[in-house]
A and B are shown apart, each in its own frame.
Chain A
């Protein structure tokens, strides 16, 4: 009978628990986390929080100013847009698109990038060379331009947009996972796992993958922010989210001509976008601080 390898968690406190404990004592994690949770709640509860439908037009109520303006009213706290649609309702429903795109694209890009990174880092040699080459090719292609071309020529739909962004933003996952796996592959417990005859999939999924979750989560947070910004830029250029869907980038694009006379129409979705991305970056920075052993990057 072979000696069964001991689960490291039973010997010492698991690194994930240590990191979580540290995160809860990190100021940036709390500030960012509260903002993100608030935005998620608003996105989910939008139908309960506003009586207005984001796409119902009322041409008799075009360009109602927001409540802090002397002509504003609480009926439309953030005013209405060029078609008389309630701006607050559009903002709330727009959060759904930004968050949804951020998370779904990262599921795609994270899966691709992690698979490539683990392959390159674990085997080295020619798989490493080929994957490195593809990372270089991907970095050479300009993201915004490629996404615009794909969306414009194939025809824009929300799912296509998610797919295109997901297929473009895997490079950082691949780079980070590759170097993390390279370091792990030389550790003694991996050699030990090989020596006791563990199958390769078992080593990859049970030994490598759980031990790279730290850097993986950090990259995921950066890339969610990246994807949200990319969606906003594409929507701003008119080739991202299409009406009747609402997105914050689209709201800025539609209000572009009102920059001088109604700057709040750009400031409102703009602030929401900056706040969300900033909060995600704060959490990402905090996670990087707590998952690196010294507690400092």
Chain B
């Protein structure tokens, strides 16, 4: 297990390092950072001054090493637009996105695990087919349309929920549903197949033969085993959600890092953009690492091969 842990840890660090190189190159090579920083209407002399001041005239690898060194020391740079340290800016935005991600995941699990269990208890019935079909059909619905539909119904027509801002917990309801919905088909399918397997196993049959109540058998002896792979899938899905939060946060003006990323892209605030790319990629890498470790801890075959 220790060797496996060390290997996976090393790979995760390597992935984050390569990702950071790509993020840095993307931001620095796809435009002229000095021109972007100097802003519109800057003269050539202004741009050259910015280029020298911020060191954009140095070779790209030197700039990257410099940036990476500062990041490792906890300094993510400065936002030219907000005139603040990127670390401070992120500190105020990350809790919003983290809350959104957690609520979205809770919604997804709360919807898909009961549906998956039910589908497994009554396989190939209308309800089994219908729940799968609705989930699959929903995948054709882009998240921004789904979000606009929610806004129209609950925000504008029924006037039950606020349509923008991040002041109260009510602001998180629609965005969480809009974001979490897309994780449901995968989780539902995995719960269903896991439950189908475990319900046919010997220990469930024994538990039933003992005369335990059906619900007790399903929850204690069935779901407890079937839910394990679901937990690691949920971690990966949470990582995807962080990436998808940009669309949802922008629609609902939820001031998380997705919204911040969109605003920073419009302002060409490159230090913020590359920091957000790094943060989201790192979060995803760490979440998949946790999912893998969980799987390995529970299934010895994985860590040996």
A-chain residues with CB within 8 Å of residue B243 when the two chains form the complex:
142-145
A-chain residues with CB within 8 Å of residue B250 when the two chains form the complex:
237
B60 CB, nearest partner CB in chain A, Å: 15
Distance, CA A141 to CA B22, complexed state (A):
9
A67 is an interface residue with CB less than 8 A from chain B: no
B245 CB, nearest partner CB in chain A, Å: 9
Q: Find the B residue at minimum CB distance from A273.
A: B142
B38 is an interface residue with CB less than 8 A from chain A: no
B183 is an interface residue with CB less than 8 A from chain A: no
A-chain residues with CB within 8 Å of residue B218 when the two chains form the complex:
none
Distance, CA A142 to CA B240, complexed state (A):
8
Report whether B152 and A137 are in contact in the complex, using a CB–CB cutoff of 8 Å. Answer: no
Report whether B277 and A149 are in contact in the complex, using a CB–CB cutoff of 8 Å. Answer: yes
List which B255-271 residues lie within 8 A (CB) of chain A.
Answer: 258, 261-262, 265-266, 268
Report whether B152 and A233 are in contact in the complex, using a CB–CB cutoff of 8 Å. Answer: no
Report whether B27 and A149 are in contact in the complex, using a CB–CB cutoff of 8 Å. Answer: yes
A106 is an interface residue with CB less than 8 A from chain B: no
Report whether A144 and B247 are in contact in the complex, using a CB–CB cutoff of 8 Å. Answer: yes
A-chain residues with CB within 8 Å of residue B30 when the two chains form the complex:
149-150, 153-154
Q: Find the B residue at minimum CB distance from A152.
A: B265
A137 interface neighbour in B19, B26, B148, Cβ under 8 Å = B19
B-chain residues with CB within 8 Å of residue A236 when the two chains form the complex:
142, 144, 247
B130 is an interface residue with CB less than 8 A from chain A: no
B273 is an interface residue with CB less than 8 A from chain A: yes
B14 is an interface residue with CB less than 8 A from chain A: yes
B137 is an interface residue with CB less than 8 A from chain A: yes
B145 interface neighbour in A133, A153, A260, A270, Cβ under 8 Å = A270
Known pairs A153-B31, A233-B247; A140 contacts B15 (CB<8 A): yes
Q: Find the B residue at minimum CB distance from A236.
A: B144
A142 interface neighbour in B136, B143, B266, B277, Cβ under 8 Å = B277
B interface residue count range (under 10 / 10 to 19 / 20 to 34 / 35 or more): 35 or more
Tell me which of A153, A237, A266, A281 has the highest count of chain B C-beta atoms within 10 A of its own C-beta: A153
A192 is an interface residue with CB less than 8 A from chain B: no
The segment from B83-91, B205-213, B279-287 found at the interface with A is: B279-287
B-chain residues with CB within 8 Å of residue A149 when the two chains form the complex:
26-27, 30, 265, 273, 277
Distance, CA A114 to CA B25, complexed state (A):
26
Report whether A273 and B145 are in contact in the complex, using a CB–CB cutoff of 8 Å. Answer: yes
Number of interface residues of A (CB under 8 A): 39
Report whether B285 and A133 are in contact in the complex, using a CB–CB cutoff of 8 Å. Answer: no
A257 CB, nearest partner CB in chain B, Å: 11
Distance, CA A139 to CA B142, complexed state (A):
20
Q: Find the A residue at minimum CB distance from B274.
A: A149
Known pairs A144-B244, A152-B268, A236-B247; A137 contacts B22 (CB<8 A): yes
Q: Find the B residue at minimum CB distance from A234.
A: B247
B-chain residues with CB within 8 Å of residue A88 when the two chains form the complex:
none
B-chain residues with CB within 8 Å of residue A239 when the two chains form the complex:
265
Distance, CA A146 to CA B24, complexed state (A):
11
A-chain residues with CB within 8 Å of residue B285 when the two chains form the complex:
140
A-chain residues with CB within 8 Å of residue B68 when the two chains form the complex:
none
Tell me which of A155, A225, A266 has the highest count of chain B C-beta atoms within 10 A of its own C-beta: A266
A194 CB, nearest partner CB in chain B, Å: 26
Q: Find the B residue at minimum CB distance from A164.
A: B30
A274 is an interface residue with CB less than 8 A from chain B: yes
A-chain residues with CB within 8 Å of residue B19 when the two chains form the complex:
137, 140-141
Report whether A263 and B276 are in contact in the complex, using a CB–CB cutoff of 8 Å. Answer: no
20 contacts between A and B (CB under 8 A): A133-B15, A140-B15, A140-B16, A140-B19, A140-B285, A141-B277, A141-B281, A142-B277, A144-B243, A145-B243, A149-B26, A150-B30, A152-B265, A154-B31, A237-B262, A259-B152, A259-B156, A270-B148, A274-B141, A281-B139
Binding site for A on B (CB under 8 A): 11, 14-16, 18-19, 22-23, 26-27, 30-31, 36, 136-137, 139-145, 148, 151-152, 156, 242-244, 246-247, 250, 258, 261-262, 265-266, 268, 273, 276-277, 280-281, 284-285, 288
